[in-house]
Amino acid sequence: MIESFFAGLIVGSIHSGTPLLYATLGEAVEERAGIVNLGLEGVMLIGAVSAFITTVQTGSAFWGVMAAAAAGALFNLLFGFLVISRRANQLACGLAMMFFGVGLSALLGAPYIGSRIVGLNEIRLPFLSDLPLVGSVVFHYDILVYLAVPVALLTWGALFFTRWGLSLRAVGENPLAAFAAGKNPHRIQYQALIIAGILGGIAGAHLSIGLAKTWAEWMTAGRGFIAVALVIFSKWHPLRAILGALLFGGAIALQLQMQARGLPVSPFLLDMLPYLLSIGVLAVWGGSRRQAAPGSLGRVFQGTE
Amino acid sequence: MKSKNSPLGKKVFPVLLSLALVGFLGSAREASAQAKLKVGILHIGSIADAGYNQAHAEGVQVMKKNLPEVEVIEVENVPEGADAERVMENMIKQGAKLIIPASFGYLEPALRVAKKYPEVKFVHPGGYRLAPNLGTYWASTPEAFYLMGIAAGKTTKTNKMGYVVALPISFFLANINAFQIGAQSVNPRAETRVVFTGTFLDPGKEATAANALLDQGVDVVGVIVDSPITVVQTAEKRGAYSIGYHFLGVQKFAPKGWISGIAFTWGELYTRFAKQVMDGTWKSEALLGNLGGDFLTIAPFGPAVPAEAVKMIQEKKPDLINGKLHPFQGPLKDNKGAERVKAGEVWPMTNLGKMDWLVQGVIGQAR
């Protein structure tokens, strides 16, 4: 029973953490390029609803994920048009895009509520799934779970070990200097937004066709905002984002597992657990290291006129 | 019964949401002018949720079929609060004479609008307050949960059952208690684990909660959240049995593991309300139905339920209706060991709002 508790906890953490990780990685890329996107919740919802509708229509979860990525990218391009081309305020636009995403996804998804899908299949790994004790419980996930950490590594590699990543970070720190060095800040920011939209859309897809296999209005239930917070928590670093997403997903899974196991702790207290944990970690970590926020985060690059 | 707590955003950003949703969805459903009676109904969520909202929406459909001369103005996704008031006033301006604000949290807004328009009648589900032109209706559910407990207790193989519940409010605790007491009456080894998700709508969390229960060896999963789809599907996928709630048509999401469900079938009641308003006999009252009436229904039993259990349920149902059998018959201890109901006494059904404990055999925390 103890093994089942821990195995369940691991599985639950990974399931709850996966959408958070994709969303956090996307937001980290945007913010590294100097753009705060509070509309992430909307991007995830658009991704979730696109994935669900496409899966219902085509019967294929693969096309569901593709649709979610494309829809997320498109949605973020609209945000990009506002904050990059029109130079509008990022925070206000982000919130507006969030509400737009909530409303639009509810409208698009309404005819599909209650539709039944198979969704993403669980894949058993040939060797790992046969490991004694934990193997059979721990190693059967859908493809998006297996890809989450590789995507984080890829994001890390792209940001820190390529010229493109260097330019992107330069734009986030000081767009004028990047411009002087011959980079096009606006183009790089658009690229960052497309990547973030793809990742945010996939995060939503995992929720709707991976985890719950249901569509419901506002089914992200605040996960987009948690991801924005996780970016700060992970100090804009893709590898620390893995830790943050697992920790937060783990806190959600832990409270549910503890209840199912019947531990004598108040459900109200358990409901606060993920947030208490965040406060605790921030309190310990908070000011102990230098701030890692990109220098021009949230500022509008006005061009050179 | 529906709590005032709604998903995160519905509380925080009601105004913008209503602009985005209410205006859009509402405009398509306006009624024309020649109807004998116009009925307005407000839903807190989507009417296709196979749950709380769909049960009300189906009720309205049945009423329309029974009374073709009645027209309906139906609006989904109305946030509780000032938006609900605006939607109700809008319906009244379009000529609605009967309003059904179909969520617990619409009570305060409905009372305010009712005061302003004394000629319009209101019926509110699960409320506890009346006004001269506002009545209330609900059905007593613990008896039905008791019968579900019998079905589950006879069907389970691991003797472990689980419930995914939105919040630990007294009416839900009473349902879980009745379920466990019913199960124990036929299976002394039966236990019920309960997990609270803290919200009425978060499919991701509901799936994780159901999985947590299944990880503990539970093989029957029940659900008290707005939409039972996610939990019931998750149980079916992992080969467990499930029990539905709110809406009669949940079975299609779990054809193999389906045990049964408790459903609200509001159609005939709504028909009566509409007739009463048309012929002027409507009066404000607090209606509490039970299994003997026509708006609380036990869903058909699934293939896994033993015939013996179905027979037993059919025998006990009349006893529960006429009061010969009471779900909360003493002696009852809570799951901390304290005596809650003495031998020979019952916990009165009128006192369900004060039930803040979980009965022995339930694994979970009431507070």
pLDDT tens for each residue of A107-142: 999 899 888 898 898 887 766 666 665 555 566 788
Of all residues in chain B, the one with the smallest CA distance to A102 is: B17
Domain boundary among B89, B118, B139: B139
Strand partners, A304: none
Say if B225 falls within a structural domain: yes
Say if B227 falls within a structural domain: yes
pTM here?
0.85
What's the pLDDT score for residue B90?
A: 95
In whole angstroms, give the CA distance from residue B364 to residue A255.
12
pLDDT confidence of B165, banded at 50, 70, 90? very high
Q: What are the backbone angles phi and psi of residue B277, rounded to the nearest 5°?
A: -70, -40
In whole angstroms, give the CA distance from residue A238 to residue A279.
21
Domain harbouring B334, CATH code: 3.40.50.2300
* Residue B40 token pair: 């307005």
Mean pLDDT of chain B: 89
In whole angstroms, give the CA distance from residue B192 to residue A146.
34
Please give the share of chain B, as a percent, with pLDDT higher than 90: 77
**Can you say how many angstroms the Cα of residue B264 is from the centroid of all Cα atoms in its chain?**
7
Say if B2 falls within a structural domain: no
pLDDT reading at B12 higher than 60: no
Of all residues in chain A, the one with the smallest CA distance to B51 is: A114
Contacts of B198 in chain A (CB under 8 A): 267, 271
Average pLDDT over residues B267-282: 95
Provide the number of structural domains found in chain B: 2
- Of the listed ranges A67-76, A110-119, A147-156, B158-167, the one predicted with least confidence: A110-119
Residues B339 and B300 in one domain: yes
pLDDT confidence of A299, banded at 50, 70, 90? confident
The CA-atom distances, in angstroms, between A194 and each of A65, A69, A83, A209, A228 are 15, 9, 14, 22, 17
Interface test with A, best of B158, B208, B226, B236 (most A CBs within 10 A): B208
| Cβ–Cβ < 8 Å for B111, B65 | no
Contacts of A113 in chain B (CB under 8 A): 46, 48-49
Which one is predicted more confidently, B285 or A291?
Answer: B285
In whole angstroms, give the CA distance from residue A256 to residue B102.
30
Average pLDDT over residues A148-160: 96
For residue range B194-211, list pLDDT tens digits in order. 999 988 889 999 999 999
pLDDT reading at B366 higher than 60: yes
Say if B272 falls within a structural domain: no
pLDDT confidence of B2, banded at 50, 70, 90? very low
Interface test with B, best of A136, A206, A207, A211 (most B CBs within 10 A): A211
Please give the share of chain A, as a percent, with pLDDT higher than 90: 60
- Are B365 and A110 a contacting pair at CB < 8 A? no
- Are A102 and B9 a contacting pair at CB < 8 A? yes
The CA-atom distances, in angstroms, between A261 and each of A221, B160, B191, B219, B365 are 25, 12, 12, 14, 11
pLDDT confidence of B328, banded at 50, 70, 90? very high
What's the pLDDT score for residue A219?
A: 93
Which residue of A8, A213, A262 is in closest CB contact with B215? A8
What DSSP element (H or E) covers A269?
A: helix A267-285
* Domain layout of chain A by residue ranges: 2-112+141-288
Average pLDDT over residues A252-270: 87
In whole angstroms, give the CA distance from residue B233 to residue B254.
6
Contacts of B9 in chain A (CB under 8 A): 102, 218, 222
Tell me which amino acid residue A87 is: R
Domain boundary among B110, B139, B168: B139
What's the pLDDT score for residue B1?
A: 44
- Of the listed ranges A152-161, B228-237, B246-255, the one predicted with least confidence: B246-255
**Orientation angle between helical segments A143-161 and A2-32, nearest 10 degrees:** 40
Please give the share of chain B, as a percent, with pLDDT higher than 70: 90
**What's the CA angle centered on B12, arms B10 and B17, to 5 degrees?**
50
Residues B356 and B210 in one domain: yes
Looking up tokens 């004694």, which residue turns up?
A132
- Of the listed ranges A4-13, A95-104, A215-224, the one predicted with least confidence: A4-13
Average pLDDT over residues B70-98: 94
Query: Is A213 strand, coil or helix?
Result: coil
Domain boundary among B72, B106, B139: B139
pLDDT reading at B100 higher than 70: yes
What's the pLDDT score for residue A9?
A: 85
Say if B151 falls within a structural domain: yes
Residues B247 and B311 in one domain: yes
DSSP conformation class of A162? S
Contacts of A221 in chain B (CB under 8 A): 7-8, 199, 201-202, 204-205
pLDDT reading at B140 higher than 50: yes
Average pLDDT over residues A255-279: 84
What's the pLDDT score for residue B8?
A: 41
What's the pLDDT score for residue B30?
A: 45
In whole angstroms, give the CA distance from residue A159 to residue B184.
60
What's the pLDDT score for residue A194?
A: 98
The CA-atom distances, in angstroms, between A220 and each of B37, B46, B247 are 40, 16, 24
Say if B275 falls within a structural domain: no
Strand partners, B260: B243
- Are A12 and B16 a contacting pair at CB < 8 A? no
pLDDT confidence of B32, banded at 50, 70, 90? very low
What's the pLDDT score for residue B137?
A: 94
In whole angstroms, give the CA distance from residue B269 to residue B295.
7
What's the pLDDT score for residue A137?
A: 59
pLDDT reading at B240 higher than 90: yes
Looking up tokens 């779990």, which residue turns up?
B254
Which one is predicted more confidently, B153 or A281?
Answer: B153
Query: Is A219 strand, coil or helix?
Result: coil
| Cβ–Cβ < 8 Å for B214, B240 | yes
What DSSP element (H or E) covers A123?
A: strand A122-124
Please give, rounded to a whole number of angstroms, the shortest distance from the CA of B167 to a CA of chain A. Answer: 9
pLDDT reading at A66 higher than 80: yes
Please give, rounded to a whole number of angstroms, the shortest distance from the CA of B102 to a CA of chain A. Answer: 18
**Can you say how many angstroms the Cα of residue B228 is from the centroid of all Cα atoms in its chain?**
11
For residue range A24-33, list pLDDT tens digits in order. 999 999 999 9
Question: Is the bond into B7 cis (omega within 30 degrees of 0)?
Answer: no
Residues B39 and B119 in one domain: yes
What's the pLDDT score for residue B58?
A: 95
What's the pLDDT score for residue B11?
A: 42
Say if B306 falls within a structural domain: yes
- For residue A23, what are the contacts with CB-CB under 8 A and spacing of at least 6? A40, A43, A44, A199, A200, A203, A223, A224, A227
Average pLDDT over residues B317-343: 93
Provide the domain limits for residue B225.
Answer: 142-263+296-363
Residues B84 and B170 in one domain: no
Which residue of A222, A260, A265 is in closest CB contact with B215? A260
pLDDT confidence of A300, banded at 50, 70, 90? confident
Class of the CATH domain delimited by A2-112+141-288: mainly alpha
Residues B226 and B337 in one domain: yes
Looking up tokens 């901390």, which residue turns up?
B336
What's the pLDDT score for residue A69?
A: 98
Which one is predicted more confidently, A289 or A192?
Answer: A192
What's the pLDDT score for residue A3?
A: 66
Which one is predicted more confidently, A42 or A287?
Answer: A42
What's the pLDDT score for residue A1?
A: 52
Strand partners, B242: B221, B258
Looking up tokens 């000081």, which residue turns up?
A174
For residue range B183-195, list pLDDT tens digits in order. 999 999 999 999 9
ipTM exceeding cut-off 0.90 for this assembly:
no
Mean pLDDT of chain A: 89
Residues B348 and B329 in one domain: yes
Please give, rounded to a whole number of angstroms, the shortest distance from the CA of A209 to a CA of chain B. Answer: 10
Residues B21 and B150 in one domain: no
Average pLDDT over residues B325-345: 93
* Residue A122 token pair: 């669980």
Residues B327 and B210 in one domain: yes
What's the pLDDT score for residue B4?
A: 40
**Can you say how many angstroms the Cα of residue B122 is from the centroid of all Cα atoms in its chain?**
19
Q: What are the backbone angles phi and psi of residue B29, rounded to the nearest 5°?
A: -110, 25
What's the pLDDT score for residue B131?
A: 94
What's the pLDDT score for residue A97?
A: 96
Say if B37 falls within a structural domain: yes
| Secondary structure string (H, E, C) spanning chain B | CCCCCCCHHHHHCHHHHHHHHHHHHHHCCCCCCCCCEEEEEECCCCCCCCCHHHHHHHHHHHHHHHCCCEEEEEECCCCCCHHHHHHHHHHHHCCCCEEEECCHHHHHHHHHHHHHCCCCEEEEECCCCCECCEEEEEECCHHHHHHHHHHHHHHCCCCEEEEEECCCCHHHHHHHHHHHHHHHHHCCCCEEEEEECCCCCCHHHHHHHHHHHHHCCCCEEEEECCCCHHHHHHHHHCCCEEEEEECHHHHHHCCCCEEEEEEECCHHHHHHHHHHHHHCCCCCCEEEECCCCCCEEECCCCCCCCHHHHHHHHHHHHHHHHCCCCCCECCEEECCCCEEECCCCECCHHHHHHCCCCECCEECCCC
pLDDT reading at B33 higher than 50: no
